[in-house]
Each structure stands twice: as structure tokens, then as C-alpha cells.
Amino acid sequence: MTKDGFEARTLKEYGGLKIESHKRSIIVKTAFNQVYLNDVVLSKGSDIPVGMTLSGDNINLPDGNSLIRGTIKRIEDNGWNLEDGAELITVNKEKVYGGVDRHLYTNDLNFNPGLHEDENYFYTSLTKNIIHTKDEDFYVEYQPGHKLFDMTVHKLIDGKLQYVADNEQYLIFYVKKANHLEITDRKKQNKVPLIEHPTSAIGDVTIEDSRNLINIKDGKIHVITQASDDYVVSPNAAAFQLETSNERLRINSEGDWEGVR
């Protein structure tokens, strides 16, 4: 069917897009290299060229990211522009939101931050996260089961202790404009993740989890311990070491914190 210049088709392949599975079989394309999809899985063999725009709900992308809703556009360096209103969960279990000018880069081992200083972006891999803002705030929610922050819990399943996603744990980063945060995995050194906030980052940062509320401003770290119910066991906190130009702070999984010299 056609309506108002849109072309609707029922098919398993459209251009470079290959549909692995779907609940609805209608694909709608405009004349402006924009494709609308709902409830589909795009196979890893799909080719999404620079400039192509995808819109819709529940789209599993070839790179492992999942668009919950909204519109994203393919950009250089295998990245995505997250348009205002977009919500996406990355392959590494971080939820990010679209804005006026927000970009996402995923698992690119050759990613060079120096080439993207004039952008607002989130870079994610299994061992490194970067949140960089120039003139837009960025908001990142780390999801249960996140590997870099070890957001898991021991549970007895079929008589065996296993690590599973801790669905009660949460970790949220609110990063104001003019900022740069780098998060590095240090499991190989038997250390908790390192979060670095350099001197050049002048905007406010707030980190919130199930135990603490942490604010970074002017290189100073301020911690507010979340109120808890004496009769309820609080979820684990995300353990990490936070370093600014002036201070260092270490937090363990119980939410206890201490300054580090």
C-alpha cells in the first residue's frame, strides 16, 4: 500500500537491511533514505550506510544495540546520531537517550577520542566507557548485569551458585555540558573500575546508585549516603575509584567510601 508518498512492503530484505525475525512485517521507506520498522531483529549481515535513518520501536540492530523507540541516524566511524526522543540500550547494557546532538559509538577498538572533541558522545566497550559533552548534557543508565561495573549477584540456581543480573541495583550518570569522563575496567589488575574526571572537564557530574549520591563540581567530590530502611537489605552499590584533578575516592560494593591518597 502507499500513502502520502510512503511505500510499505512486506519482505525479508530491503536494500542492505536483512530482517532476521519480526512480529510485524511492514517496512515503510521514505524518499529521504529513512526506514520505519517495528518489532524486528536485523541480522549481523545487514549493511546500514552512512546517512541512513532508522525510526520505530523495538529494533535490534546488527551491532547488538537495541533501539527501544525513536529515531537514529548512521554516522561516520560506525556511530549513531541519537535524535531527540530516542531511547537505546547498548550491546554492553547501558541505556542512553537522544537529544539535539548526541552520538553513540560502540566497541570500536580504533576509536580516537581526539577526533571527536567537538561532539557530545558516549563511547562503550567491554573495557572502556567515555562520556564526553561539549554543549549538551548526557544521561546514561547502567543496566543490571553490566559487566564493567559487575552489577551481578550470587544466586542458587538448580543447586549451583551462579552470577546473575542484580535487578535491584542501579547506576546512573548525569553529565552536564563541558565535561569528560573516562571509565576503565581494571579486572586484570584485581582492581575496581577507575572513573577519571580531568581538569579540562568543568561541568557538573552526578553519579547515583542504590547506596550513594555523588556530585563532582570544580574538582571536588561530594557524597550523600542514601537513606535506607533498617528492616530492608539495601541493594549492592557499584564499586569503583573516582579521581578528579583534586581528589580521589573509592567506594566498595557495600556503599562505604573513603578518600584515597
Per-residue pLDDT tens over the stretch 105-146: 999 989 999 999 999 999 999 999 999 999 999 999 999 999
pLDDT digits (tens, 9 = 90+) for 151-201: 988 787 777 877 888 888 889 999 999 999 999 999 999 999 999 998 777
Domain holding 53, by residue range, is 1-100
Is 61 found in the same domain as 165? no
| In-domain check, residue 19 | yes
Is 184 found in the same domain as 135? yes
pLDDT digits (tens, 9 = 90+) for 46-90: 888 899 999 999 999 999 999 999 999 999 888 999 999 999 999
Cα–Cα distance for residue pair 109/63, rounded to 1 Å: 14
| In-domain check, residue 63 | yes
Other residues' Cβ atoms within 10 Å of the Cβ of residue 41: 18
| In-domain check, residue 113 | no
What is the value of pTM for the model shown? 0.89
End-of-domain residue from the set 100, 115, 141: 100
Work out whether strand 240-243 and strand 220-225 pair parallel, antiparallel, or are unpaired: unpaired
Among the listed residues 186, 185, 180, 232, the one whose alpha carbon sits nearest the alpha carbon of residue 210? 232
Question: Which residue carries 525510526 as its cell?
Answer: 55
Greater confidence (9 vs 36) lies with: 36
| In-domain check, residue 107 | no
Is 246 found in the same domain as 146? yes
Residue 2 — very low, low, confident or very high, per pLDDT cuts 50/70/90? very low
Torsion over CA: 94, 99, 105, 111 (sign): negative
Reduced to 3 states, what is the DSSP secondary structure of residue 186? coil
Q: What percent of the chain has pLDDT over 90?
A: 54
Among the listed residues 154, 254, 145, the one whose alpha carbon sits nearest the alpha carbon of residue 210? 254
What is the structure's pLDDT at 164? 84
Is 79 found in the same domain as 34? yes
| In-domain check, residue 108 | no
Is 140 found in the same domain as 23? no
Domains: count for the chain: 2
| In-domain check, residue 240 | yes
pLDDT digits (tens, 9 = 90+) for 87-101: 999 999 999 999 989
Work out whether strand 6-10 and strand 2-3 pair parallel, antiparallel, or are unpaired: antiparallel
| In-domain check, residue 109 | no
pLDDT digits (tens, 9 = 90+) for 237-256: 889 999 998 899 999 888 78
Is 261 found in the same domain as 132? yes
Is 260 found in the same domain as 135? yes
pLDDT digits (tens, 9 = 90+) for 30-42: 657 788 888 889 9
- Is the pLDDT reported for residue 5 higher than 50? no
- Is the pLDDT reported for residue 3 higher than 50? no
Is 137 found in the same domain as 243? yes
Is 224 found in the same domain as 142? yes
Instruction: For the chain, report the end-to-end CA distance as a whole number of angstroms.
Output: 68
Is 261 found in the same domain as 143? yes
Please report which residue ranges of 52-207 form alpha helices under DSSP H.
none
